[in-house]
């Protein structure tokens, strides 16, 4: 066997292009190929809310006293915590009213970047694909660079798309561009933060969780600053979410706060590069705590294992839903005194109308958890962890039922916590303690809706596991039909397809057992169908 002698000095001769960024273009092309559907859906899914929110405000604002009611609503400290800081609201216009939705766009952009960077960095290492790729001519920093370049391109497209939509609605071109640039810059901040967090943990959930924790801290700082003053207090300047709002769109506009966003994004990304050079592929920098050598009695069942695997995720979801539920419930008093009736469309009590709508919206969010939890069956299968378990004295029915029971019980538990938190916030805001029980009942009454999604996910997993994304499509369609179907003049039969259009809106409307039992029966039938298909097909992993 012949060998190539190393160059003098003991080092192999360097080849052209053999640097830390070698192969970045190829990896970027691969990432674009993999995200050819997912990324456009994210971008358009965020940008489409520009015309929607503007249309909702134009309809409500055109009613008698609509803008005056809106002016009273934004004076509420709780509303400012949720939407502020606000600028130029001494004179309320439809376009300025649209800016109260700024935080929704910023959160959407941040989440898109967190998931994108996590998927193309730590996700590739966790699945073992990065090791195969790095066996070729690929530089050490090429995967992270490709992920960040993709995030930059996605944010640029999102910003331009939003700016174009706003300009088409009559916003000044400079204001529309500034708003879009602020959203894109915020997305880049969290792309950089995620590039840092993926170096710390071994799994995608941990990296995304740390980045989400940074997002929650940014939201809290922004909210605290908005509570200090209408135009933001000192705490606002400590939040990346606040910097985009401090550009003062449609007021005395300024671009320089975006330099703070770009600076933090660059600093966080540089930290990610530095840390990536100090760890091995697939390793993490945070110390790993060794686990016990054997499982305790409480972990020796399929259900206990399924619950243990999702324990951290369930706790994070529970904490987030409690906080969001309490905050949104606290707005009930402001809604009763403000323009809730104009926005929601009437009712005996605007506060109850608002709370009933929030119960539906929180159920939609819980539906996302339900699909993710039920989808853990597919994750365990494709990663090869299900086969060793099923090779032991564990039947397919028990394994399937364990994960489905975890998804179902977790969903019901989240609905209960959400109802209690929303009721507690509303009770403190309005002074009516009975709302705690009413909101708890309203949330639990909607349990068949996420359970139906769990049954659908189970049926897809049993017969066509690669079509699991269809459950997300049903969730998205149901959300659109429930909240916007009427304004889009959809026919009744199409509205009836949504799983969220059958159970009455409690506590504004009375309880009806018929739809609840029908949806629960359909969910059980789909789950049984999924078990039948799963028991008769081969495993992928």
DSSP 229-261: -TT--GGGGG-HHHHHHTT-TTSS--STHHHHH
Tokens of 264: 């933090």
Shared domain for 216 and 352, answered yes or no, is no
Give the distance between the most distant pair of CA atoms in the chain: 90
Q: Give 320's contacts (C-beta < 8 A, 6+ positions apart).
A: 216
In percent, how much of the chain has pLDDT > 90?
19
H/E stretch holding 324 reads helix 311-330
Shared domain for 336 and 462, answered yes or no, is yes
Round to whole Å and give the CA distance between 393 and 193: 44
Q: What is the pLDDT of residue 233?
A: 83
Contact assessment for residue 225 and residue 242, using Cβ atoms and an 8 Å cutoff = yes
- Which of 8-22, 233-247, 524-538 is most confident? 233-247
Q: Give 103's contacts (C-beta < 8 A, 6+ positions apart).
A: 82, 83, 219, 222, 241, 245
Q: What is the pLDDT of residue 4?
A: 44
Q: What is the pLDDT of residue 345?
A: 46
Round to whole Å and give the CA distance between 473 and 392: 36
Q: Is residue 111 part of a domain?
A: yes
Q: Of 478, 277, 501, 233, which Cα lies nearest the Cα of 364?
A: 478
pLDDT in tens, 276-317: 877 766 555 555 566 666 666 666 777 787 888 888 778 888
The pLDDT-based confidence of 116 (bands split at 50, 70, 90) is very high
Tokens of 228: 């200090």
Helix (H, G, I), strand (E, B) or coil at 19: coil
Q: Is residue 295 part of a domain?
A: no
Hey, which residues does 11 pair with through a beta bridge?
7
Q: Is residue 17 part of a domain?
A: no
Flag whether pLDDT at 79 surpasses 60: yes
The pLDDT-based confidence of 65 (bands split at 50, 70, 90) is low
Shared domain for 120 and 196, answered yes or no, is yes
Domain boundary residue, one of 249, 283, 317: 283
Shared domain for 305 and 237, answered yes or no, is no
The pLDDT-based confidence of 148 (bands split at 50, 70, 90) is very high
Flag whether pLDDT at 426 surpasses 90: no
Round to whole Å and give the CA distance between 210 and 195: 11
Mean pLDDT of 109-138: 83
Mean pLDDT of 336-348: 49
- CA–chain centroid gap for 486, Å, is 25
Shared domain for 30 and 62, answered yes or no, is yes
91 exposure class (CB count in 10 Å sphere: 0-12, 13-18, 19+): exposed
Q: Give 89's contacts (C-beta < 8 A, 6+ positions apart).
A: 71, 74, 96, 230
Q: What is the pLDDT of residue 263?
A: 95
Flag whether pLDDT at 541 surpasses 50: no
State whether the Cα torsion 131-132-138-144 is positive or negative: negative
Shared domain for 439 and 511, answered yes or no, is yes
Domain boundary residue, one of 283, 310, 338: 283
> What is the end-to-end Cα distance of the chain in Å, rounded?
39
Round to whole Å and give the CA distance between 167 and 179: 11
Q: What is the pLDDT of residue 257?
A: 94
Q: Is residue 9 part of a domain?
A: no
In percent, how much of the chain has pLDDT > 70?
85
Total-model pTM: 0.72
- Which of 173-187, 329-343, 449-463 is most confident? 173-187
The pLDDT-based confidence of 13 (bands split at 50, 70, 90) is very low
Round to whole Å and give the CA distance between 442 and 422: 11
Round to whole Å and give the CA distance between 57 and 76: 18
Q: Please give the DSSP secondary-structure letter assigned to residue 285.
A: S
Residues 473, 475, 479, CA angle at the centre, nearest 5°? 115
Shared domain for 43 and 122, answered yes or no, is yes
Contact assessment for residue 69 and residue 342, using Cβ atoms and an 8 Å cutoff = yes
Range of weakest confidence among 91-95, 173-177, 526-530: 91-95
Flag whether pLDDT at 152 surpasses 80: yes
Shared domain for 509 and 377, answered yes or no, is yes
Q: Of 493, 517, 490, 489, which Cα lies nearest the Cα of 503?
A: 517
Range of weakest confidence among 46-50, 175-179, 260-264: 46-50
Tokens of 510: 């009375």
Residues in the chain: 541
Tokens of 317: 């979801």
Q: What is the pLDDT of residue 265?
A: 94
Q: Is residue 13 part of a domain?
A: no
Flag whether pLDDT at 9 surpasses 70: no
H/E stretch holding 68 reads helix 66-74
Q: Please give the DSSP secondary-structure letter assigned to residue 338.
A: T
Shared domain for 373 and 447, answered yes or no, is yes
Domain boundary residue, one of 257, 283, 309: 283
Flag whether pLDDT at 118 surpasses 50: yes
Q: Is residue 218 part of a domain?
A: yes
Flag whether pLDDT at 38 surpasses 50: yes
Range of weakest confidence among 141-150, 190-199, 384-393, 424-433: 384-393
pLDDT in tens, 204-251: 777 887 888 888 888 888 888 887 788 888 888 999 999 999 999 988
Q: Is residue 12 part of a domain?
A: no
Shared domain for 204 and 125, answered yes or no, is yes
Shared domain for 201 and 333, answered yes or no, is no
Range of weakest confidence among 18-27, 165-174, 183-192, 337-346: 337-346
Q: What is the pLDDT of residue 78?
A: 60
Round to whole Å and give the CA distance between 460 and 519: 18
Task: Provide the domain limits for residue 510.
Answer: 301-541
Q: What is the pLDDT of residue 285?
A: 56
Shared domain for 92 and 241, answered yes or no, is yes
Range of weakest confidence among 51-60, 250-259, 529-538: 51-60
Residues 242, 248, 254, CA angle at the centre, nearest 5°? 105
Instruction: Output phi, psi for 253, to 5 deg.
Output: -65, 145
Q: Is residue 7 part of a domain?
A: no
Instruction: Output phi, psi for 7, to 5 deg.
Output: -65, 160
pLDDT averaged over the chain? 81
The pLDDT-based confidence of 200 (bands split at 50, 70, 90) is confident
Domain count, the chain: 2
Q: What is the pLDDT of residue 348?
A: 57
Flag whether pLDDT at 499 surpasses 60: yes
């Amino acid at each position: 066997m012949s060998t190539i002698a190393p160059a003098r000095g003991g080092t192999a001769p360097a080849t052209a292009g053999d640097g830390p960024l070698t192969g970045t273009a190829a990896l970027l092309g691969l990432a674009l190929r993999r995200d050819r559907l997912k990324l456009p859906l994210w971008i358009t899914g965020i940008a489409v809310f520009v015309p929607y929110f503007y249309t909702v405000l134009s309809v409500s604002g055109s009613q008698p006293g609509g803008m005056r009611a809106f002016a009273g609503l934004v004076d509420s400290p709780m509303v400012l915590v949720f939407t502020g800081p606000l600028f130029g609201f001494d004179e309320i216009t439809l376009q300025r009213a649209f800016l109260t939705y700024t935080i929704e766009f910023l959160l959407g952009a941040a989440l898109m970047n967190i998931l994108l960077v996590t998927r193309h960095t730590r996700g590739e290492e966790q699945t073992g694909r990065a090791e195969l790729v790095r066996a070729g001519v690929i530089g050490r920093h090429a995967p992270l660079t490709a992920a960040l370049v993709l995030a930059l391109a996605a944010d640029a497209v999102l910003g331009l798309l939003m700016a174009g939509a706003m300009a088409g609605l009559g916003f000044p071109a400079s204001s529309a561009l500034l708003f879009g640039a602020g959203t894109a810059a915020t997305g880049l901040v969290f792309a950089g933060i995620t590039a840092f967090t993926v170096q710390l943990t071994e799994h995608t959930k941990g990296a995304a969780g740390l980045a989400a924790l940074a997002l929650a801290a940014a939201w809290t700082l922004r909210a605290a600053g908005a509570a200090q003053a209408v135009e933001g207090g000192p705490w606002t300047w400590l939040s990346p979410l606040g910097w985009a709002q401090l550009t003062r769109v449609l007021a005395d506009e300024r671009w320089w706060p975006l330099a703070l966003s770009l600076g933090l994004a660059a600093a966080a990304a540089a930290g990610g590069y530095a840390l990536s050079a100090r760890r091995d592929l697939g390793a993490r920098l945070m110390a790993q705590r060794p686990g016990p050598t054997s499982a305790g009695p409480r972990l020796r069942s399929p259900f206990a294992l399924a619950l243990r695997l999702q324990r951290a995720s369930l706790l994070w979801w529970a904490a987030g839903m409690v906080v969001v539920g309490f905050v949104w419930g606290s707005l009930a008093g402001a809604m009763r005194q403000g323009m809730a009736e104009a926005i929601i469309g009437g009712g005996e009590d605007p506060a109850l109308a608002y709370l009933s709508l929030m119960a539906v919206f929180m159920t939609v969010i819980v539906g996302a958890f339900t699909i993710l939890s039920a989808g853990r069956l597919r994750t365990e299968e494709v990663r090869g962890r299900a086969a060793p378990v099923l090779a032991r004295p564990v039947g397919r029915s028990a394994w399937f039922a364990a994960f489905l029971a975890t998804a179902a019980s977790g969903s019901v538990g989240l609905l209960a916590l959400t109802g209690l938190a929303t009721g507690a916030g509303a009770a403190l805001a309005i002074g009516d303690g009975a709302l705690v029980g009413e909101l708890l009942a309203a949330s639990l009454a909607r349990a068949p809706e996420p359970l139906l999604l769990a049954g659908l996910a189970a049926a897809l997993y049993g017969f066509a596991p690669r079509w699991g994304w269809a459950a997300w499509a049903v969730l998205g369609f149901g959300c659109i039909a429930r909240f916007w179907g009427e304004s889009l003049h959809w026919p009744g039969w199409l509205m009836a397809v949504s799983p969220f259009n059958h159970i009455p809106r409690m506590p504004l409307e009375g309880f009806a057992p018929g739809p609840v039992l029908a949806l629960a029966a359909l969910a059980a039938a789909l789950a049984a169908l999924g078990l039948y298909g799963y028991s008769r097909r081969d495993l992928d992993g």
